[in-house]
Amino acid sequence: MNIATLAGHLAFGLIAFSFLVKDIFWLRLLSIAASLFSVFYNYTIPTEPMWLAINWNFIFILVNLYHIGVILYEKREVKMGDKDEELYQTLFKEMSPVEYLKISRAAKWETLKPGQRIITQGIQVPDLYLIYNGTVDVEIDNEHITQLKDGEFVGEMSFLTEKVATATCKVKYEAQCLVWKQREFKELLKRNPSLYFTIQSVLSAQVSNKLVSSTKK
């Protein structure tokens, strides 16, 4: 077996192996390596270089290099404030730091006073709240149901279903919250599919936890 034939086997072997790789960064590196071996094979084996295959492999290499650059850019270290760092580490670790900053910059910090009503049962919810610290009472038909505390969302059910609020939420103790305008936030998520699925997962998990907690009471 000569070197060119070995390069051909390596090209197809790396492509096959890449199907087993889940990490997108390593998948793209394997794809680049496979394309390079394929270029060598297609240049060496035929009586004349197969320029069609060679040119397409170079295109694949450039595309993968671009996406590797994007991945490295999004995984780079970024400076966050103390609040953002805490929220990122506790709730949004599945995102890259750059992705988290995209969603945090789309929100604004608000300090809510005791007695302030955040959402009202039966009324459309324009905002999505994330409690950084503080306590929020939840009422259904004027009956106290539960309390929401640090790290919990308010309005996530309406955000997911686009329906009116199923409960009324009032601030019990002063609360600092990160607040997103639902419409603007959804537009941001539509432009960033990976963020969309991560946020959907985080919110759905909280809804499930709240439903489980309510059935135990």
Span 140-173, pLDDT tens digits: 999 999 999 999 999 999 999 999 999 999 999 9
Is 172 found in the same domain as 138? yes
Is 126 found in the same domain as 106? yes
Is 208 found in the same domain as 161? yes
Is 135 found in the same domain as 58? no
Return the number of other C-beta atoms located less than 10 Å from residue 101's C-beta.
17
pTM higher than the cut 0.75:
no
pLDDT of residue 134: 95
Is 150 found in the same domain as 69? no
Token code pair at residue 130: 């994330």
Name all contacts of 50-57 with Cβ < 8 Å and 24+ positions apart.
Answer: none
Which of 38, 57, 74 is where one domain is finished? 74
8 Å CB contact between 172 and 135: yes
- As a whole number, mean pLDDT of residues 132-137 equals 96
Q: At what angle do helices 97-105 and 82-91 cross, to 10 degrees?
A: 120
Is 17 found in the same domain as 96? no
For residues 175 and 182, give the distance between their C-alpha atoms in angstroms, rounded to a whole number.
20
pLDDT of residue 212: 63
Q: What is the pLDDT of residues 90-119, one digit of tens each?
A: 999 888 888 898 899 999 999 999 999 999
Which of 74, 107, 130 is where one domain is finished? 74
Q: What is the pLDDT of residues 1-53, one digit of tens each?
A: 678 778 777 877 887 777 667 677 888 888 888 889 888 888 887 677 787 77
Is 135 found in the same domain as 39? no
CATH of the domain at 135: 2.60.120.10
Assign 213 a pLDDT band (cuts: 50, 70, 90).
low
Most confident of 72-76, 137-141, 213-217: 137-141
**pLDDT surpasses 60 at 217:** no
Q: What is the pLDDT of residues 167-197, one digit of tens each?
A: 999 999 999 999 999 999 999 999 888 888 8
Is 114 found in the same domain as 25? no
Is 197 found in the same domain as 118? yes
State the residue range of the domain holding 20: 3-74
pLDDT of residue 135: 96
Token code pair at residue 216: 């135990």
pLDDT of residue 214: 61
Number of domains within the chain: 2
Is 89 found in the same domain as 63? no
Is 178 found in the same domain as 123? yes
For residues 189 and 58, give the distance between their C-alpha atoms in angstroms, rounded to a whole number.
32
pLDDT of residue 29: 87
Which of 45, 74, 103 is where one domain is finished? 74
pLDDT of residue 122: 95
Is 190 found in the same domain as 154? yes
With vertex at residue 165, the alpha carbon angle to CA 171 and CA 211, rounded to the nearest 5 degrees, is 85
